[in-house]
Structure 1
Amino acid sequence: MTVALVRFGAVPEVARAGIPDSLAVSRGDVVVLRTHRGEEIGTALEFVRPPVEPNQESPDPEFEVVRLATDIDRSTQVESQRQLEQEFAAWHQRISDWGLDLQLIEMERTLDNEILILYVLNERGPECTKLALQAAAAGLGIIEVQPVGADGPVALPAPSGGGGGCGSCGAH
């Protein structure tokens, strides 16, 4: 298995993705990768070279490239973005109506249209959790709220070793 850096997401993230040996991928190829959200379209940027230091192991890939993107994959993504542009104002209004201190900046769906990703200008915290819960209570499908800061998407906090909790505040 080869490992490449792949850029994906409407607010771009870069991650290591494993590429099966049976798949010929080059720099710049548009690929479908399986992420923690589901299948998403990304672009292969660079292959990860083995470490120079002896006895040092390469980090494991975070995701897996499933295939080169097809014309159907690309048209599905374009159509999904068109629909989301029409829904943006409605989502902005919902956030306001629910009294959440979040600013919606972008939206996208996974390639299978199962998960809606809402990018919000905020740190990861209770407001993001409230948005996901309000959307679920309103029957609006599976929603992932992805906070975005000045440096891009905000990562989940490192596990604290504590017990339980929702994972949004990092306190438990």
Structure 2
Amino acid sequence: MIAPLSSASVPRTIALVRYGQIPEVARSRFPEDLAVRRGQKVVVQTHRGLELATVVDIVRRRAEDGDDAVPMEIVRSVSAEDEAKARAQRNALQGEFAAWERRIAEWKVDLQLIDLEVTLDGAKLILYVLNDRGPECTKLALQAAAAGFGVIEVQPVSAQGLVAMPKGGGGGGCGSGGCGCG
């Protein structure tokens, strides 16, 4: 969870940003002293960690008092180092795809892997799978953790896009509120 910006800090603005290998669009706050414009590449702090994003639009020039609930924050503009790191991570993950398919088969998890992504800060690996949210996602996250792969998020995807958490929190499976969103 991102700590809310204090009211004594710089005034905030709200933007829509697109982030993730299989893109999501979300509201993101940022201080007004950070020059942000439509189409700009930025680094955002998400529930998963630091990720690259693109500003889709500026929603409001000044955030309202209730906007501390906006779950993401634009941290900075993307640097050449950020882009190089993201490229290196993508290249490294290309070699991991087949290994993750083998693990999923060995663990007898009924999921089809469709993509991999790691956060810019390397804090979390995201496995995109073709499935609904449920016990198989939880099983994969638990197997990966038991095998020592660290923090992994299993993100189900359908023909309509990312499968969202059901309203009310529970996603089935382990009862943690999501399948492997540790």
Counterpart-to-counterpart distance in 2, 1:122 and 1:19? 34
Counterpart-to-counterpart distance in 1, 2:99 and 2:45? 29
Which residue of structure 1 lines up, in the alignment, with residue 166 of structure 2?
157
Residue-by-residue CA offset, 1:42-69 (whole Å, 9 max, x unaligned): 000111148xxxxxx8795231000001
8 Å CA contact 2:44, 2:51 repeated in 1: yes
Q: Does 1:3 align with 2:5?
A: no
Which residue of structure 1 lines up, in the alignment, with residue 53 of structure 2?
42
8 Å CA contact 1:126, 1:168 repeated in 2: no
**Structure 2: which amino acid aligns with 1:92?**
E
Which residue of structure 2 lines up, in the alignment, with residue 29 of structure 1?
40
1:165 Cα deviation (Å)? 2.2
Q: Does 1:12 align with 2:19?
A: no
Residue-by-residue CA offset, 1:121-171 (whole Å, 9 max, x unaligned): 00100000000000000001110000011121111111169xx923248xx
Two-structure CA RMSD over aligned residues (Å): 2.0
**Structure 2: which amino acid aligns with 1:5?**
L
Aligned ranges for residues 23-172 of structure 1 at < 5 Å? 23-49=34-60, 60-159=69-168, 165-168=175-178
Counterpart-to-counterpart distance in 2, 1:157 and 1:13? 16
Counterpart-to-counterpart distance in 2, 1:157 and 1:59? 23
**Structure 2: which amino acid aligns with 1:165?**
G
Counterpart-to-counterpart distance in 2, 1:46 and 1:160? 29
Gaps of 5+ in 1: 51-56
8 Å CA contact 1:157, 1:167 repeated in 2: no
Q: Provide the secondary structure at the position in 2 that maps to 1:48.
A: strand
Q: Provide the secondary structure at the position in 1 that maps to 2:109.
A: coil
Counterpart-to-counterpart distance in 1, 2:169 and 2:16? 28
Which residue of structure 1 lines up, in the alignment, with residue 7 of structure 2?
none
Counterpart-to-counterpart distance in 2, 1:107 and 1:116? 7
TM-score (normalizing by structure 2):
0.83
| Greater than 3 Å deviation, 4+ residue runs | 57-60
Which residue of structure 2 lines up, in the alignment, with residue 53 of structure 1?
none
Instruction: Indicate the percent of aligned positions where both proteins have the same amino acid.
Output: 55
Residues paired across the two proteins, number? 161
1:118 Cα deviation (Å)? 0.3
Counterpart-to-counterpart distance in 1, 2:115 and 2:169? 30
